[in-house]
């Protein structure tokens, strides 16, 4: 019997993603999976294409991130519309609002099922005039209501939308697969903080506050990995304080996980005044949980609420250098507290956030849809 055909639509190439390849690996156990993507960075050497035998249709069109992408969306929508019309498929699994409109239109034409996955609430991922944001939010909610079911990256996103008009909603957290063997003993001679992720100014990451906080703390260092328009500033700090700051560039997912287990403390201090930061916890907390590492997070966020619930880190004001300094010193100098947070983090992963749990949710959703 032929497998049902699932087609995933995302405005990135798969080599710019961690979550979607994990979902594809799950779905390929039960379904025939293909992908429509936008190679907006014009990547020419894509590892995913080399290692995975998956049918991909890529729009090779250079395009920026942020507000300017709005001028390119009609071309992307036409690309989606065309391929969805001519391909055979049973379920369209669309990621984010910037791809949803043509998918849902074609699904109605062909009488097919649609799963709408909200990873980044598009209208909150950039600073927009409030009236435009409200209008886009209402449009987005309309297309959410037209979908057969909705996947959220965080339960808190329902609050962000002031309620999502769909009766079938689940949260699938971007947890890492379980690669845990044992808690790596924290370093005694040098206490090392680690951050890996996109490095863009408009996300208000407060990395400069972390660096300033450790400037005068003995035996503390921060290692940063990633790409974005903050790289030059981080490299300038590295030149100024080579014993305190190390920038290791863009690294792969597996190397990120190796570094998390090797170093002592994670942090995510994205400004909660940026709405998307407030409602989506992201992968840093989940990676820390899997590896059994404490974390420092910014108050007023979904991430902070989970850290409070699981007692696996410290909550501070992310723009307050004094509070950051105090939190780092406390975790450096209190091994009992550090160990407690470490155990609680791992327990939270096993009981609530493991990728096995997320895999079960995703497959159950697809099963109920068919």
Between CA 361 and CA 257 the distance in angstroms is 24
Between CA 48 and CA 24 the distance in angstroms is 12
Phi, psi at 221, each rounded to 5°: -145, 155
Domain count, the chain: 2
Does 214 share its domain with 148? Answer: no
Q: Cα torsion for 144, 305, 280, 238, to the nearest 10°?
A: 180
Beta bridge partners of 147: none
pLDDT value of position 183: 67
Could you tell me if residue 180 is inside a domain? no
Could you tell me if residue 114 is inside a domain? yes
Does 279 share its domain with 301? Answer: yes
Structure tokens at 151: 């996947």
Does 133 share its domain with 33? Answer: yes
Does 267 share its domain with 361? Answer: no
Does 75 share its domain with 142? Answer: yes
Contacts 24+ apart (CB under 8 A), 322-327: 322/213, 324/209, 324/210, 324/213, 324/269, 324/296, 325/213, 325/214, 325/217, 327/296
Does 216 share its domain with 246? Answer: yes
CATH label of the domain that carries residue 303: 3.40.50.2000
Could you tell me if residue 185 is inside a domain? no
pTM: 0.91
Does 301 share its domain with 224? Answer: yes
Residue 33, helix vs strand vs coil: strand
Between CA 164 and CA 195 the distance in angstroms is 32
Does 157 share its domain with 216? Answer: no
C-alpha torsion sign, points 258, 259, 265, 270: negative
Could you tell me if residue 209 is inside a domain? yes
pLDDT value of position 213: 97
Could you tell me if residue 183 is inside a domain? no
Could you tell me if residue 181 is inside a domain? no
Could you tell me if residue 186 is inside a domain? no
Does 347 share its domain with 358? Answer: no
Between CA 113 and CA 91 the distance in angstroms is 5
Does 204 share its domain with 162? Answer: no
Q: Residue 149 in contact with residue 365, Cβ under 8 Å? A: yes
Structural domain for 168, as ranges? 5-175+354-369
What does pLDDT average to in each consecutive run of 10 residues of the chain (370 residues)? 89 86 94 94 64 83 84 96 97 96 97 95 80 92 97 95 95 93 73 94 91 96 95 97 96 91 95 85 94 96 96 96 98 95 97 97 92
pLDDT value of position 77: 98
Could you tell me if residue 275 is inside a domain? yes
DSSP-assigned letters across all residues of 243-265: TTEEE--S--HHHHHHHHHHSSE
pLDDT value of position 16: 73
Does 337 share its domain with 218? Answer: yes
Burial bucket for residue 232 (CB in 10 Å: 0-12, 13-18, 19+): exposed
Does 230 share its domain with 306? Answer: yes
């Amino acid at each position: 019997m032929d497998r049902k055909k699932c087609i995933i639509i995302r405005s990135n190439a798969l080599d710019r993603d961690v979550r979607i390849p994990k979902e594809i690996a799950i779905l390929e156990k039960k379904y025939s999976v293909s992908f429509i993507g936008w190679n907006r960075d014009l990547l020419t050497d894509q590892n995913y294409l080399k290692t995975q035998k998956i049918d991909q249709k890529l729009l090779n069109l250079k395009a920026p991130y942020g507000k300017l992408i709005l001028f390119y969306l009609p071309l992307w929508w036409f690309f989606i519309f065309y391929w969805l019309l001519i391909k055979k498929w049973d379920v369209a699994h669309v990621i984010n609002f910037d791809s949803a409109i043509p998918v849902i239109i074609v699904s109605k034409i062909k009488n097919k099922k649609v799963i709408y996955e909200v990873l980044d609430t598009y209208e909150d991922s950039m600073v927009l005039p409030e009236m435009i944001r409200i209008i886009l939010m209402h449009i987005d909610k309309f297309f959410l209501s037209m979908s057969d079911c909705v996947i959220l990256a965080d339960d808190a996103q329902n609050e962000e939308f002031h309620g999502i008009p769909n009766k079938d909603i689940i949260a699938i957290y971007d947890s890492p697969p379980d690669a845990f063997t044992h808690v790596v003993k924290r370093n005694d001679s040098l206490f090392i903080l680690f951050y890996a992720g996109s490095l863009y100014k408009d996300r208000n990451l407060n990395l400069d506050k972390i660096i300033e906080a450790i400037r005068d703390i003995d035996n503390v260092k921060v290692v940063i990995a990633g790409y974005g328009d903050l790289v030059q500033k981080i490299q300038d700090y590295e030149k100024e304080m080579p014993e305190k700051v190390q920038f290791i560039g863009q690294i792969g997912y597996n190397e990120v996980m190796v570094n998390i287990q090797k170093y002592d403390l994670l942090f995510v201090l994205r400004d909660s005044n940026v709405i998307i930061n407030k409602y989506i916890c992201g992968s840093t907390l989940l990676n820390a949980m899997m590896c059994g590492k404490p974390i420092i997070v910014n108050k007023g966020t979904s991430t902070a609420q989970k850290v409070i619930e699981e007692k696996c880190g410290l909550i501070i004001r992310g723009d307050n250098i004094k509070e950051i300094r105090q939190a780092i010193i406390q975790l450096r100098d209190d091994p009992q507290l550090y160990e407690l947070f470490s155990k609680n983090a791992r327990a939270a992963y096993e009981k609530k956030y493991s990728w096995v749990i997320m895999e079960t949710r995703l497959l159950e959703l697809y099963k109920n849809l068919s």
